[in-house]
Amino acid sequence: MEVTYLTAINQALHEEMRRDENVFMMGEDVAELGGAFKVTDGLLAAFGEDRVIDTPIAEALIVGAGVGAAILGMRPVVEMQFGDFISCAFDQIVNTAATLRYRHGGRAACPLVIRAPSGAGVHGALFHSQNPEAWFTRVPGLKVVAPATAYDAKGLLKSAIRDDNPVIYFEHKRLYRSIKENLPEGDFTVPIGVAELRQSGRDLSIITYGGTLHQCLDAASIVAREDGLSVEVLDLRTLLPLDREAILATARKTGKALIVHEDRLTGGIGGEVAAIIAEHACESLDAPVRRVAALDTHTAFSPSLEEFILPNANKIVAAIRGLAAY
């Protein structure tokens, strides 16, 4: 049976809470309501109010309580109802959770997962559309993942829950019900820190993650049909730590690299990926590294303005053609 991205996350939570009694869920409306998007639906009935906890609207409190529980041996999964509001918990994440193991000389762990529904394309406007992953990809002690498929959504969440370090898990809202996939029976995980080659190609490489993966695959299909171009598509999946070997391998193979993400262009993780390629694979390049990303502005509520701001398949097609012709 095909499973949606949302259901895959829900399954992972159910399975990990059954597997380990130290795993519990905490956040705004995650219990009785089942989450704003119904991601945590059924958890309260299955595990009770001691393990599925509704909290006040206070992200710093949610993450701070999660850190405390993690230090004491629990494995909390906390939810930011919208990824935008993770900024309210910034201090707890970067100054407390991320530094804890280092401050204690490796003698303490912080097995905390922070789920953050993020991304635009759903007309959420200013406070319900952001992609804040780049704020955290420069913080030692954190791991940051961004699954783009139902399989990875389930497997990466399981790996995150079992990890002894704080993991920020960005799930793209637009993917919740828009993609489906047949998942294998039984327990499986997806390793953190390992990219996945979604499509092999010879003419140029696209490096992407999260909400833009499927746009990139659509664009690659269009240029293959209309232009005869063979495009390789690499899905990073994990943003911290980056799979540097996979990034360099695809750049060296095709000699042309296009980085695509929904986050804003300036300061996005694409700049770091471009620097890695420029520093370590420059001799293999036949063209400058190029990027497609959201404009450096706030996300608009107007559907037409939102579309103008965000990357899409047509913009990616144009970038592919320009890079291929270089």
CA distances from 249 to 3, 49, 253 (A): 32, 48, 6
Q: Which two tokens stand for residue 163?
A: 């990890």
Helix (H) or strand (E) holding 283: none
Told to judge if 298 belongs to the known catalytic residues of this protein, a careful annotator would answer no
> Residue 192 and residue 58: Cα distance in Å, rounded?
29
> Residue 162 and residue 165: Cα distance in Å, rounded?
9
To which residue do tokens 């990616």 refer?
316
Contact 201, 254 (CB under 8 A): yes
Q: Partners of 244 in the beta sheet?
A: none
Rounded to the nearest angstrom, the gap between the alpha carbon of residue 239 and the centroid of all alpha carbons in its chain is 8
Prior bond to 56 cis, omega within 30? no
Q: Which of 163, 260, 160 is nearest to 210 (CA)?
A: 260
> Residue 45 and residue 173: Cα distance in Å, rounded?
24
Other Cβ atoms within 10 Å of 184 Cβ, number: 9
Other Cβ atoms within 10 Å of 219 Cβ, number: 28
Q: Choose, from 14, 128, 172, 280, the residue flagged as catalytic.
A: 128
Q: Which two tokens stand for residue 77?
A: 């999964």
DSSP state of 147: -
Q: Which amino acid is at 49?
A: E
Q: Which residues are catalytic?
A: 128
